[in-house]
Amino acid sequence: MKRLLGVALGILTAIGGFVDIGDLVTNAVVGSRFGLSLVWVVVVGVVGICLFAEMSGRVAAVSGRATFEIIRERLGPRMAGANLVASFAINLLTLTAEVGGIALALHLASSVEPRLWIVVAAAAVWLVLWRVKFSIMENVAGLLGLLLVGFGVALFLLGPDWGDLLAQAASIGQPPGGQSMGSYWFYAVALFGAAMTPYEVFFFSSGAVEEKWTAKDLSQNRLNVLTGFPLGGLLSVAIAACAAVVLMPQSIEVSSLSQIVLPVAQAGGTLLLAVVILGIVAATFGAALETALSSGYTVAQYLGWSWGKFRRPAKAARFHLTMIVALLIAVGILMTSVDPIAVTEMSVVFSAVALPLTYVPILVVANDPEYMGEHVSGKVANALGSVYLVIVLVAALAAIPLMIATGAGSA
């Protein structure tokens, strides 16, 4: 019974922890502009993150080493150092977006100036990182993030024409009238980046070490990933569908968090609105914790410092200091009055650019019998892994040219 509860909890937290500010914003923007014509990218992204997270969890459980320790070991200090700089920068951008997301959600609920909330949000993130146990932190944030299921409830209450939504979803590669093909592909890359953010893998693999997974935990790892992430992906689709049903017919283009919740208010009134805003706070807070931890994990693992929430802060001082510095930089960036939504849009695109840096080493190590013994990737995982290698490389190479050519999707 205890094991069953553990499995259920793992799945629920994987669902609730799937959506972050990048998913929220990108899906709503895409839904309001392209309807469901890009929903196929969410499917591609979810399969990709399942594959990627399963591999990194398996590698961590079997070898007892987290992603960046392996990257350094496989690529050598110089190449891994370059990888670290790029990965840390993208992670920092994502952390900035998540802290900004918490502040925006609290601003939405209170109408109090978001810059006041930025400091409160960052302080709360630091306090939780400093004081709260890893498992409690992960489970509470993940479970509260489940409140985003309110988008799914809203979609049903709106009573859309399901046939029309299915027709939109089937129109792959055909943007609706008035939208350019360049912007369509730019947002395809952004959605892919939002679903497959590198920090999720740093967090997932380091979390496996934090929770002392072994080869015996592999089946639970697979179950969490293969059930939780696809259900989390459905939340992303629900966000896009709500925007497609309410905002797109009125030519409302999403540029702020306050617009994302309008369909929820229309469908379920103030109660459902309150549930969803709480869900947004929880989802962004959980993702801020994960990205802040990922900052510490990547640097500490590369430099060989002691790391982990399972150690007291005094025993992993440089790991904790890295997280504090990352949080302070994020606050500094947000205090310049930069629009957190714009930071989010940049972070998902650059996540796609940086993805091969972590994907390729994990793919290689998951196939290495020296590390993995009998747990090397099977034929199906390898075939899928190779297909995704091509997708990840194409998305990474196309992201910046598409961003320049379309003015970040504004053309």
Partner 1 sequence: MRPSRDEHPVALALLRRGSLRLRALVLMIVVLATASCATATSSSSAQESITSGLEEARSAVATAALVVTLLEDDRMTAPVADTGLLDQIGVLEDSSAALMTLVPPAEMATPLQQGMTAVGTATDAVVAARLWVNGESGASAAELLEALEGAESEIDDVLAEVGA
Near partner 1 by CB under 8 A, which window of 140-148, 223-231, 245-253, 353-361? 245-253
User: Which DSSP category does 224 fall into?
Assistant: I
Considering only 161, 172, 253, 338, the residue that binds partner 1 (CB under 8 A) is 253
Task: State the minimum distance, in angstroms, from the CB of residue 256 to partner 1.
Answer: 4
Distance (Å, whole) CA 396 – CA 334: 26
Nearest to 235 by CA among 158, 139, 149: 149
The rounded Cα 169 to chain-centroid distance in angstroms is 22
Under the criterion CB under 8 A, does residue 252 sit at the interface with partner 1? yes
Coil, strand or helix: which one is 256? Answer: coil
Near partner 1 by CB under 8 A, which window of 22-30, 109-117, 233-241, 353-361? 109-117
Distance (Å, whole) CA 102 – CA 86: 25
| Cβ closest to partner 1, residue 53 vs residue 280 | 280
Which residue bears the tokens 């129109």? 171
User: Which DSSP category does 177 fall into?
Assistant: T
Under the criterion CB under 8 A, does residue 337 sit at the interface with partner 1? no
| Cβ closest to partner 1, residue 218 vs residue 252 | 252
| Number of Cα atoms under 13 Å in the Cβ half of residue 218 | 16
Near partner 1 by CB under 8 A, which window of 124-132, 259-267, 315-323, 367-375? 259-267
| Cβ closest to partner 1, residue 266 vs residue 382 | 266
Under the criterion CB under 8 A, does residue 121 sit at the interface with partner 1? no
Using N-to-C axis directions, what is the helix angle for 114-131 and 262-303, rounded to 10°?
50
Task: State the minimum distance, in angstroms, from the CB of residue 306 to partner 1.
Answer: 39
Considering only 3, 4, 216, 251, the residue that binds partner 1 (CB under 8 A) is 251
Under the criterion CB under 8 A, does residue 72 sit at the interface with partner 1? no
Under the criterion CB under 8 A, does residue 256 sit at the interface with partner 1? yes
- Residue pair 261/247 in contact (Cβ under 8 Å)? The answer is no
Task: State the minimum distance, in angstroms, from the CB of residue 410 to partner 1.
Answer: 7
Considering only 64, 76, 82, 110, the residue that binds partner 1 (CB under 8 A) is 110
Q: Is 66 exposed, middle or buried (0-12, 13-18, 19+ CB in 10 A)?
A: buried
Distance (Å, whole) CA 135 – CA 37: 38
| Cβ closest to partner 1, residue 173 vs residue 253 | 253
Under the criterion CB under 8 A, does residue 111 sit at the interface with partner 1? yes
Tokens standing for residue 380: 């199906």
Question: How many residues touch partner 1 (CB under 8 A)?
Answer: 25
Near partner 1 by CB under 8 A, which window of 131-139, 232-240, 268-276, 350-358? 268-276
Under the criterion CB under 8 A, does residue 266 sit at the interface with partner 1? yes
Near partner 1 by CB under 8 A, which window of 50-58, 192-200, 257-265, 286-294? 257-265
The rounded Cα 191 to chain-centroid distance in angstroms is 11
Task: State the minimum distance, in angstroms, from the CB of residue 108 to partner 1.
Answer: 5
Under the criterion CB under 8 A, does residue 154 sit at the interface with partner 1? no
Distance (Å, whole) CA 158 – CA 228: 26
Query: What distances in angstroms separate CA 57 from CA 6, 111, 316, one per listed residue?
Result: 17, 41, 23
Under the criterion CB under 8 A, does residue 120 sit at the interface with partner 1? no
Near partner 1 by CB under 8 A, which window of 202-210, 216-224, 266-274, 323-331? 266-274
Task: State the minimum distance, in angstroms, from the CB of residue 104 to partner 1.
Answer: 9
Q: Which phi-psi region, left, alpha or beta, contains residue 304 (left: φ > 0; alpha: ψ -120 to 50)? A: left
Task: State the minimum distance, in angstroms, from the CB of residue 278 to partner 1.
Answer: 13
Burial track 119-147 (b if 16+ CB lie within 10 A, e otherwise): eebbebbbebbeeeebeebbbbbbbbbbb
DSSP string covering 87-112: HHHHHHHHHHHHHHHHHHHHHHHH--
Site for partner 1 in 271-290 (CB under 8 A): 273-274, 277
Under the criterion CB under 8 A, does residue 261 sit at the interface with partner 1? yes
Near partner 1 by CB under 8 A, which window of 124-132, 164-172, 256-264, 281-289? 256-264
Distance (Å, whole) CA 240 – CA 38: 9
Under the criterion CB under 8 A, does residue 336 sit at the interface with partner 1? no
| Cβ closest to partner 1, residue 49 vs residue 155 | 155
Q: Is 257 exposed, middle or buried (0-12, 13-18, 19+ CB in 10 A)?
A: buried
Which residue bears the tokens 């502009």? 33
Binding site for partner 1 (CB under 8 A): 107-111, 246, 250-253, 255-259, 261-262, 265-266, 269-270, 273-274, 277, 410
